Structure 1
Amino acid sequence: MGRVALEVADIFRTYGPTWRQAQHDRLSLGQLKVMSAIEQCRSAALVGHVLRCEGCGTDQVSYNSCRNRHCPKCQSSAAQR
C-alpha cells in the first residue's frame, strides 16, 4: 500500500491562509508572492492546455507551471533536465 504524495502546495493551500493571517506583520511581499506562486503552480489558476491523442481521441489536461525559482515542482523538473 503506497503513501499519498503530499506536496508543499497542498500544505500551503490547506494551512496557508490561516498562517498568513497569523504572521501578517512578519511576512515580506516577496514571501507572500512565493507562497502564492507555489499554491497556483500546475493548477487551473495558471491555465493550461489540452493534449489530444490522434489515435484514440483521449484528452489530457496539462496545467502551466509558475516557473518560480523557489517552487519545488518547478525546480524538480529543472533538475531532471
Structure 2
Amino acid sequence: MQMTNNPLNTLYHAHIYFNNEQSALATQVREQIIHDIPQLTYRGQLIPMSIGPHPKPMFELHIPGDCINFAMASIDTLREGLS
C-alpha cells in the first residue's frame, strides 16, 4: 500500500463488499469503522444486493483526503476479511 502525505484528491470513497452470509459481520465492521474513523463524511447503509457496477452487496464510505492514510490503514485492519 503506497502512502502519501500530499493526497491528490480532497475526497476519496471506499466500498466494502460482502455476501449475504456475511451481512451480520458487515454490519459489525461498518459500525466499528464509523466508530474508529469519525472523520468520514459519508457512512452509507448496507446495500443487500448488487447494484450498478457493484457485483456484490456493499456499503460505501467517503473519506477526506487529509486523513486517507489513517483511514486506509484502519479499514484494512478492521474489515475482517471483507473485500
TM over 0.5: no
Greater relative contact order (CA < 8 Å, ≥ 6 in sequence): 2
TM-score (normalizing by structure 2): 0.29
Greater per-residue helix proportion: 1
Larger Rg: 1
TM-score (normalizing by structure 1): 0.30
Greater per-residue strand proportion: 2
